[in-house]
Structure 1
Amino acid sequence: MHSTTLQADNRAEVAAALAQDHLIVACLCAAWCGTCASYRTAFEELAQRHPEKYFLWVDIEDHADLVGDLDVENFPTLLIQHHETVAFFGTMLPDPNVAHRLIQTIAETDPAELRRLADSTPERQGWQRDCNLRVLLGE
């Protein structure tokens, strides 16, 4: 399995994939970002290590209409979502082993516990409201 890159002509296909029952791992980057460019290979390797999950690469400038309200402070930013629950949204060290452990931990966490954690702080509550890729791509 490999990652999918969000393009203007595949939004419907990506939205359909996001609606399915698998963990979503999205990398939010920018074409001008050298760190993102070097992280792209590592992101593909992560997709290979986790073929049962859906990996999505999003250039936040090419798709500002999708992510315009997301507060991406630094790159690369990962967004990990299980069904309607955004489990993680934040800057990730460009180290595939750190990302791998994070993805594994979230995948192994009970959905009810993910939901409880999602409601546990105002910041995480904001993720649910503002960062849900299923909602953003469905609009």
Structure 2
Amino acid sequence: MTVHVACLCAAWCRTCESYRQVFEAACAELPQDDLRVRWIDIEDESELIGELDIETFPTLLIADAAQIRFAGPLTPQPETLRRVLRAHLTDATPARVAPEYAALAERLRAAG
């Protein structure tokens, strides 16, 4: 089953600027089979973001074909990201999220 991991950030955000390397390195440590990793600039890809209002950076979305496993902001520490990734890539328990996150997950699934 394909799992999408998306980090939602903004080019103007200094935290995001330094976090991108952390995100890419942490995702590179994961098994790559059926994993789709995406860095999304919320302004450059506003059509993909839709009505989702991101107020805190970075925000992470983890979703598979059936459900969203995690959606929300993270503190920008590498170990926090690794812990969340490990937990939600092995546990397919659905997360309760706003409908806007579900819409974004659906657009990511459609994009492949």
Query: Normalised by the shorter chain, which TM-score bucket?
Result: 0.7 to 0.9
Q: Is the 8 A contact 2:50 2:100 kept in 1?
A: no
Q: How does 1:84-99 map to 2 (within 5 A)?
A: 84-99=66-81
Per-residue CA deviations over 1:5-55 (Å, capped at 9, x if unaligned) read xxxxxxxxxxxxxxxx33211001111110000001101111221142321
Instruction: Supply the distance in 2 between the matched residues of 1:128 and 1:62 (Cα, whole angstroms).
Output: 18
Aligned to 1:74: 56
Instruction: Supply the distance in 2 between the matched residues of 1:66 and 1:87 (Cα, whole angstroms).
Output: 19
Instruction: Supply the distance in 1 between the matched residues of 2:2 and 2:83 (Cα, whole angstroms).
Output: 17
Instruction: Supply the distance in 1 between the matched residues of 2:65 and 2:56 (Cα, whole angstroms).
Output: 25
TM-score, normalised with respect to structure 1: 0.68
In angstroms, what is the RMSD of aligned CA positions?
Answer: 2.0
Give the letter for the 1:39 counterpart.
Y
TM-fit CA distance, 1:88: 1.3
Structure number with greater Rg is: 1
Higher relative contact order (CA 8 A, sep 6+): 2
TM-score, normalised with respect to structure 2: 0.83
Aligned length: 108
The percent of aligned pairs where both chains have the same amino acid is 37
Aligned to 1:104: 86
Matched, 1:136 2:101: no
Q: Is the 8 A contact 2:48 2:104 kept in 1?
A: no
Q: Please, which runs of 5 or more residues in structure 2 have no aligned partner?
A: none
